[in-house]
Amino acid sequence: MIFSWFDSSEAKQIGQSIALQFIAGIPASSLKNLHKISPKQKKVIENIHNQLVKINTEKKFNPYKKAKLADAFQKELMNANYEPEFVRKMTKEVVLQLGGR
């Protein structure tokens, strides 16, 4: 029972899935001007936000699993060549959506 607290495979998979959805909808090459976000990009962000709210409600991940989800998300964005500062900002948004501070 206690070992399930540390089983973060589902959280990692969700983090990667959300990151791949982000990458597909908002490629790194499309972020030349961070102050201008297209309606399509806003929709992608809104969909991810809604998924995170649903995940937070349904899964009730513990802090360890939330951290692993955020870490998987961050790694995928870094591997997709997004700017490190942008990746940190997006990862922080994920953590906040999951209820972390």
| 33 three-state secondary structure | coil
pLDDT digits (tens, 9 = 90+) for 27-40: 988 877 656 778 88
pLDDT digits (tens, 9 = 90+) for 6-32: 889 999 999 999 999 999 999 988 877
Q: What is the pTM of this model?
A: 0.87
Q: What is the pLDDT of residue 41?
A: 85
Phi and psi, residue 100, nearest 5°: -90, 155
Spell out the domain ranges in the chain.
61-101
Summarize pLDDT for 48-83 with one digit per residue, the tens: 999 999 988 898 899 999 999 999 999 999 999 999
Assign residue 100 a region (left: φ > 0; alpha: ψ between -120 and 50; beta: otherwise).
beta
**Residue 98 and residue 66 in contact, taking contact as beta carbons nearer than 8 Å:** yes
Query: Is residue 100 within 8 Å of 61, Cβ to Cβ?
Result: no
Q: Are 28 and 80 in contact (CB under 8 A)?
A: yes
The separation between CA 46 and the C-alpha centre of its own chain, rounded to angstroms, equals 12
